[in-house]
Amino acid sequence: MHVRNIIPSESGQSVFEILIAMSIATIIVGSSVAAIMVSQRSGSVTVSSGKAYAIADETLSSVRSFAESNWADMYTQSKGEAYQYYLNIVSSTATSSTLGIASGTATTTFTSSSAEENINYTSWFTIEDVTRDSILLDPTTLKITVHVSWNPGGGAQEITLVGYVSKIRSRFITFDNWSGASGAAVPVTQPTNDYYSINNATIDANGAITY
């Protein structure tokens, strides 16, 4: 009986190794491309989220500043999540601008060379009353919730930032000149020497003034 020793040729072995190497390289390249795409997408989301938080933080800071100098305007607004507001310039001069509360939302757009970063951000804030011990209404504090929404192409996104504003200033006007005329029935908003007077005024048990 004749026995043959079958020994693979070096050339056949090299071709087989090349095929395996090519398969492995294809898998590695495919995985790398997928990883790069995920990384780019993740980076884009991080950038857009960072811009949204910057808008929210700036809005909350502006609302705090507005509340400090215009507490009555802030406090008398309708309260609750159903009422959306933004700060808008109501008047301006060559050296300064005056902000006011407007109903609705504001839009901020960033322009970039990357199409993925050219996103419109919509922002607004809501106002809510604050209670102490869940019972007593605190008329000197308000809860402000800032909302920022955007659509990066992969679905709508929204963040919220919550803060509190307080009445920290009180204004007093002292009148020491009553030489004007009687009959000033409207609220006094600046110093004046006019006044309103009545005779025989009484105060009942409920604090009501009658005359």
Per-residue pLDDT of the chain (211 residues; tens, 9 = 90+): 444 444 455 545 566 565 566 666 565 555 544 444 444 445 456 778 888 999 999 999 999 999 988 888 899 999 999 999 999 988 878 887 788 999 999 998 877 666 556 788 999 999 999 988 777 888 889 999 999 999 876 678 899 999 999 887 666 666 677 777 777 776 666 677 777 777 888 887 777 777 7
Assign 3-state DSSP to the chain and report helix, strand, coil percentages, each to 5: 30, 30, 40
Q: 46: closest CA among 117, 149, 121?
A: 117
- Give the pLDDT confidence score for residue 161 in this predicted structure: 94
User: Tokens 């105060």 — which residue?
Assistant: 203
- Give the pLDDT confidence score for residue 112 in this predicted structure: 66
Report d(CA 5, CA 7) in Å as an integer.
Answer: 6
- Give the pLDDT confidence score for residue 187 in this predicted structure: 65
- Give the pLDDT confidence score for residue 19 in this predicted structure: 58
Backbone angles phi, psi at 158, to 5 degrees: -150, 140
- Give the pLDDT confidence score for residue 118 in this predicted structure: 73
In this structure, the number of other CB atoms found within 10 A of the CB of residue 195 comes to 15
User: 3-state DSSP call for residue 36?
Assistant: helix
- Give the pLDDT confidence score for residue 33 in this predicted structure: 47
- Give the pLDDT confidence score for residue 101 in this predicted structure: 93
- Give the pLDDT confidence score for residue 182 in this predicted structure: 78
CB 126 within 8 A of CB 101: no
